[in-house]
Structure 1
Amino acid sequence: MRPSTSLTRQTSPHYAKALILYLLFFVLLWTVLTSISHKAPDLDGMEELVWASSFELGYIKHPPFPSWIMYGLTQLLGRPVWLSFFAGMLASAAGLVFLWLLAREFLSPRLSFLVVLLASVNIYFSLRGTIFNHNTAQLWSIMASIWFFYRACRDQRLSDWAWLGVVAGFALMTKYSAVIQFAAFFLYLLASGLWRHGRTWQGMLVATITLGITFSPHLYWLHSNDYAPFLYMDKSLAAPTRWQAYSALLSFTLDQLARLSPMIIAVGALYYCYRRDLRQKGHHVSDNNVNYGAQIHSREKQFLLWVGLSPFLSTVLIAALLGSHLDASWATTFFVLYSFYFLFAIKGAEPLQTKRLLVIVLIIQILMATGYALARGPLAWETGRKSRSTFPGPEIASQMQAVWRQHVPATPLRIVASDTWLGGNIAINTSPDAQVYIDAQLAQSPWLRDADLQCGILVVFSRQTRGEPAASLLQLYEQTHWKGLEQLHWSSANSPILDLNWGIIPPSPSCEAAR
């Protein structure tokens, strides 16, 4: 049942303001600490910074929407290292906003705030929220899809169905795994009996139309590019043997438990406080004996169970049947509703328990963010561990620019042929115009044309960072006029030595910048 109007009017603005302040703290805490501790983005964050070199309708590995977001941010802010952390935390915070909107449909503002607090310590919203990839970027659109789907099923307004199609289209243009959540919607329609209503079929038709319109630009690109991302997805799912697939499936499941553990710790701390209250005040304390989940109507319970549990359970079942490989991070959006389930484990006076949870969550967030920053910053540096956070991107870029100026003094460095990681570190630390020629393949670098390659190319690869370079990159390296090797430590003196194999193709006479 929905909360009373009087309760909503009395307390909603208070908790809405509290939510805004908490999310500001949440975004700033993780963004600032990771920016201080990291000299380079995570691999996926670097990939998005590189792909944001141009506005494309699709990319060879993934659909384009996260890169569109990054493209807009880079146009405003350039390509600083911290931008990928900030973008990831914005996506995470936006997902929590839509979680609040869903909770407000059938819970009081206080319990809705509690639901968001619990969800925010989920590792996918917090620590891994700093990694702006297609999984994190999908948090907001999946959560928005769930909210609009709930409203559409409850009220049967065509406007909600239409908006469902739009945000579902964005979710699909973020990562094709959105169909797993759509399948959960379908299962709920079957379980609830809503599929029998003519109004539901009208709504689904409207949602399908708006989804098709939203997705159509990328669909055109897919058709024009032989559905390249599906080939990449097929390779990602392949496992060498069925037993290896089962082993990976077990690791996948255990990883999810670990990533939900901060929520379990927070609820455990609340339960401890509740039991302590009972010991101190006796067992007859009013409103202490009913769990918070009891306030959720049976209709909403059915919705939360089918829509919330189906993605993880169906994925594990299908992967087990097909023997497919699963990566832990692919489950990023599978647990967005799990904080509702923890309501059934919480008892006690709501105002007091909500304040306690806020303190507990703040402590957990600060400990996680600080610990992560220390582990990826000073500790990784001192131990010499090969951590991407300590990768010497600025130093490498400085060395490569010096090499370039020595051989091509009259033309600025614009094209770096390399893998995404190494080339991206050089490009973002060189100039706003420097772009990566990924593995020396135009198909992977749609922001480049043949004419762009006439103004000289710096070819760089390192077997220490990514192993054996692509054959196409080695082939281009053999065509370079000058070659050399630069070396430097990954981080401290205890770290591995990086091998920077470089070669230069000078500008051709047709290059205007060389004239």
Structure 2
Amino acid sequence: MLSSSYPLDVPEGIYWGREWQWGYYKHPPFSSWVLYSFYYTFGHIGPYILSQCTIALSLWLAYLFGRQLMSKNRAFIGALFLLAIFYYTWPSLEFNHNIAQMPVWLGLIYIFYLAIRENSWKHWLLFGLLAGIGMLVKYTVALLLLTMVLYSLCTTNRRLWLTPKPWLAILLAMIVFAPNIYWLIEHNWLPLTYASARSAEDANRNGHLAALGYFGTQLLNHLPILFILLFTRTRLSLRPSVQVLRQRDWYFLLWMGLVPTLILVFAGLIFRLGLRDMWGMPMWGLSGLIIVSLIPEPVFISKDKSLLKGIAVWALIVTILMAVYVGFGARIRHKPSRMDWPQAALAKQADDQWQELSSCKLDSVTGSDWVVLLVASYSKFAPSVMVSGNSAYSPWMSNSRLQQQGTLALWPVDEHPQTPWLEPLAHHSELVVKQGEWIVRWNKLPDREPLKVVWQAYIPKKCLKQQ
């Protein structure tokens, strides 16, 4: 109700998912498929519904896993403590691959725990299936899988590698992940190149401090939990008692909750990698269970209701702050955020302009990425997107498709990009070129100078309307 445009990653995920590819130039495909499915089913509110369903699923999985380790009440509060981690509230407005990983990490940890404890076929096969799907969500799931392999080798669970079950789980994961591997080979490993470039960019800017800054940010994201503990005067012990948690479960909890981050930080320090703060979003699904395990039993009995009230108060505060930011942040800052653009007006302008000129549907849009993504994810024509005019980034597009179906190119008047891919279209005998400029008001900033958008329509002659 409060946002006038999608957050940054949402329209990108929608147009990727619409194309149903086995991979995209930044990420593997699964979360984009799910995002587009929610968008298609529920309309423009779908991405917001999906994001909160993802958070709810994460809390439920944390609770189910916690029930295996501790009492029902502790598991419940430990799961709700996730709401006191910043990543599970404010950033959840923007469904992306990091949000999508949250239930994947928790689900994998839960099933892996059952697999090594029960050593049953169903748990190992389920683990393999979820591991394959997880790799189709984001490649950083490999870090969790590495953590699990190291845990199995460093404990008595190493004997499980002498049985066929974990090996068949690996085989099943590879079968599920295989189509994306084939796509990566066919497309020159584009996502890995992209990730490497982003990491190098951060490393060049911050050097070795990038890893330390990343670690510090992860700690800051846990501050609301600390405040809740302080305000409720809840005392922690250095390690849980036997009555609270079995020792082997405590080691498992610490290993899975902390080792992925430590591996990433040490790798960043040693290899001077640039680490982006949001990469840590899925890694803290066990933080609430770790914290609640450190509360002595007598203290927990006396403080459980206070802790629930503290979590509820925090949830109310952060909800109000989020609503104020989304609804009035543009006026407070005197400039728009990504959620303050006039998306609906831009999309309607594009649809009306194309219908005025052409009797055919709008097949694709191209030009300045952000404006194009906003239009593509709100247009009634559901057009494809030509990203930066690069066919490697948009393999569903081609010169022949552009020549046969035409396209609409858009960019803000002060961001006119280089468009060499459009030059051949301008001289194509079967296309007619029309151009102009729109003036679109900022609905959240009525006093701001209107947004000026330059457009060029490449219309097939068979579709051209008589003016």
Please indicate, yes or no, whether the TM-score normalized by the shorter chain is above 0.5. yes
Q: Which residue of 1 aligns with 2:104?
A: 141
Distance 2:218 2:417 in 1: 33
Distance 2:449 2:315 in 1: 33
Indicate yes or no: 2:207 matched with 1:245. yes
Q: Which residue of 1 aligns with 2:32?
A: 67
Distance 1:290 1:332 in 2: 25
Contact 1:441 1:472 in 2 (8 A): no
| Equivalent in 363, 385, 405 of residue 414 of structure 1 | 363
| Offset, 1:244 | 1.9
Q: Which residue of 2 aligns with 1:191?
A: 154
Indicate yes or no: 2:125 matched with 1:125. no
Q: Which moved more, 1:184-193 or 1:166-175?
A: 184-193
| Equivalent in 388, 406, 412 of residue 462 of structure 1 | 412
Matches of residues 113-512 of structure 1 in structure 2 within 5 Å? 113-195=76-158, 197-198=159-160, 201-239=163-201, 244-271=206-233, 295-347=244-296, 348=298, 350=300, 353-381=303-331, 383-406=333-356, 408-448=357-397, 450-451=400-401, 454-462=404-412, 469=417, 471-472=419-420, 475=423, 481-490=433-442, 491-495=444-448, 497-509=450-462
Distance 2:93 2:75 in 1: 24
Distance 1:99 1:453 in 2: 52
Contact 2:210 2:268 in 1 (8 A): no
Distance 1:241 1:290 in 2: 36
| Offset, 1:420 | 4.1
Distance 1:424 1:142 in 2: 29
CA deviations over 1:458-478 (Å, ceiling 9, x no partner): 1001266xx563655675796
Distance 2:238 2:407 in 1: 70
| Offset, 1:371 | 0.6
Distance 1:271 1:495 in 2: 48
What SS is found at the alignment partner of 2:221?
helix
CA deviations over 1:179-213 (Å, ceiling 9, x no partner): 11112112211322321x15665332021111012
Indicate yes or no: 2:57 matched with 1:57. no
Distance 1:409 1:136, change over 3 A: same
Q: Give the AA of the match of 1:209.
A: L
Contact 1:89 1:129 in 2 (8 A): yes
Distance 1:405 1:150, change over 3 A: same
What SS is found at the alignment partner of 1:386?
coil
Distance 1:345 1:126, change over 3 A: same
Distance 1:291 1:270 in 2: 19
Distance 1:100 1:341 in 2: 12
Distance 1:506 1:208, change over 3 A: same
Indicate yes or no: 2:43 matched with 1:91. no
Distance 1:469 1:146, change over 3 A: farther
Q: Give the AA of the match of 1:501.
A: V
Distance 1:388 1:289, change over 3 A: closer
| Offset, 1:384 | 2.6
| Offset, 1:336 | 1.3
Q: Which residue of 2 aligns with 1:281?
A: none
Q: Give the AA of the match of 1:507.
A: P
CA deviations over 1:407-466 (Å, ceiling 9, x no partner): x143343321134421121123320533322223333334445336523311001266xx
Q: Which moved more, 1:301-310 or 1:344-353?
A: 344-353
Distance 2:301 2:307 in 1: 10
Contact 1:138 1:171 in 2 (8 A): yes
Q: Give the AA of the match of 1:208.
A: I
Show structure 1 runs of 5+ residues with no match: 1-35, 276-287
What SS is found at the alignment partner of 1:413?
coil
Distance 1:257 1:446, change over 3 A: same
Question: CA RMSD of the aligned region, Å?
Answer: 2.9
Indicate yes or no: 2:41 matched with 1:76. yes
Distance 1:73 1:513 in 2: 35
Contact 1:439 1:473 in 2 (8 A): no
TM superposition score normalised by structure 2 = 0.89
Q: Give the AA of the match of 1:260.
A: H
Q: Give the AA of the match of 2:438.
A: E
TM superposition score normalised by structure 1 = 0.81
Indicate yes or no: 2:8 matched with 1:46. no
Q: Which moved more, 1:109-118 or 1:498-507?
A: 498-507
Distance 1:153 1:289 in 2: 27
Distance 1:350 1:253, change over 3 A: closer
Distance 1:472 1:38, change over 3 A: farther
Seq. identity, %: 23
Q: Give the AA of the match of 1:265.
A: F
Q: Give the AA of the match of 2:331.
A: W
